[in-house]
Every structure is written in C-alpha cells, then in structure tokens.
Amino acid sequence: SAVISQKPSRDICQRGTSLTIQCQVDSQVTMMFWYRQQPGQSLTLIATANQGSEATYESGFVIDKFPISRPNLTFSTLTVSNMSPEDSSIYLCSVGEQGLGANVLTFGAGSRLTVL
Amino acid sequence: AQKITQTQPGMFVQEKEAVTLDCTYDTSDPSYGLFWYKQPSSGEMIFLIYQGSYDQQNATEGRYSLNFQKARKSANLVISASQLGDSAMYFCAMRWAGYSTLTFGKGTMLLVSP
C-alpha cells in the first residue's frame, strides 16, 4: 500500500499564526483528502485535493482558512490560517487505493497541532 | 439521511476473549461500502476490514470479522482472542456510491486488560 509521510508530526503554535502541513506520497495518486480530528472526536473531511484544479471543500470549511495546494500527483499541502485554540486537532492526509476488493483510504500518521 | 452510528463510547474486554463493536448505518442507497479502522494512541489510522453492500459473505481478516446484517443496517466488528495491543480507538466508516471519501462514526474506545 501507499506510504504517506506528513510533516510536521506535531507542533505548538501561537494564536493568529499560520502553519503549513505537508503530505508526500510514494506513488502517484489522483485524489488526496484532508481530514481533521478534533480532540476526542471523529474524523471530519476538510477537502479533496485534485491535481491541476482547485480543492473541493466540505460544508463548514473555506479556502481562506484552509488553503490547499496540489502541485503534482505525489504531494499536497494544507495550511491552517490565523489559528485559534479551536484549531487544535490532528490533521490527516489520506489517499484512496484499491485493496481487498474496495477503494481503501490509507492515512498518513497525522499532524498534531496545539494552538495556545 | 445518510448516517453512521457507533453507540458504545467505550468497551472493556479481557485478554483472549472476543469482543463485538457495534456500528449501524442509515442509507437508502443500495450500493455502499463499510470499513473499520483502528487508531492507536499514536494517532495513525489503520485499515482493518471492508464489507461491500452486495457481498454475500461476511468479511474476515485474521482475528477480525464483520457481522454484516443488511436488513438491520448493522456492520459490527468482532475481534476474536483479544490482545493487549488491540487497545485503541475503533472507527466504523461508510462510503456511499458515487463518493470517493469516507464518513466516520464517532468511534469506540476498546481497552483490553490482562
């Protein structure tokens, strides 16, 4: 299965700053997905990142707050802008690949952000 | 409405016993897929098992099996012979036809004791 590397693995950020999370995949993939997991909560899809086009955002998430880049088929970034403590979460990058008869989502190890 | 529900916030089991984690879903679409993921305290999401809505047999992967009851709209995960390393958060997830992404339930925390 695909190997996904995310950086940073964790960070402590100050309110009002922005942080960019990088996601590198060891194979070319069409779609990459960014999820957020707030403390003690489930995963919520932020957006789908397609190479060569604008990301598609889910309800409640906007490009100004979570700009995404997808410069090629193996790489994407998610920026969390103007952070507040409510943005403290794990942010996970994922890709879909065929396995066991289904298109399975494979996840990176996540980026754990704490905003003070 | 399309929805996925895990009603057990936490479950406790002794080592070597079997445990069932519940998952129910709501959809009117005939085509969908059901997934289970494990999230240890380190945070990564590990794919465990998949069941397609048209699959006749219940899925099994090693110690994991999926008790799929289509009429009841349930897809419970059964872990046999629990091990200490099974202690983690478990998420049920669903993909509806025409969608590339997964929608996750709230998760169940499983603690396995010696």
pLDDT of residue A42: 93
Q: Determine the residue of chain A that is closest to B33 in CA distance.
A: A102
CB atoms within 10 A of CB B114: 6
CB within 8 Å: A102 and B50: yes
Backbone angles phi, psi at B85, to 5 degrees: -70, -5
CB A9 within 8 A of CB A108: no
* pLDDT single digits (tens) A61-104: 999 999 999 999 999 999 999 999 999 999 999 998 776 556 78
CB A10 within 8 A of CB A113: yes
Of the candidates B107, B100, B83, the one whose C-alpha atom is nearest the C-alpha of residue B22 is B107
CB within 8 Å: A33 and B100: yes
Query: Given a cut of 90, is residue A4 above it in pLDDT?
Result: yes
Backbone angles phi, psi at A85, to 5 degrees: -55, -30
CA angle B100, B22, A92 (to 5 degrees): 40
CA distances from A35 to A54, B59, B91 (A): 17, 26, 14
Q: Which of A48, A100, A106 sits opposite B101 (nearest CB)?
A: A48
Task: Give dist(CA A45, CA A58) in Å, integer.
Answer: 7
Taking the alpha carbons at both ends of chain A, their separation in whole angstroms is: 36
pLDDT of residue A99: 62
Residue-averaged pLDDT of chain A: 93
Q: Which of B47, B49, B106 sits opposite A42 (nearest CB)?
A: B106
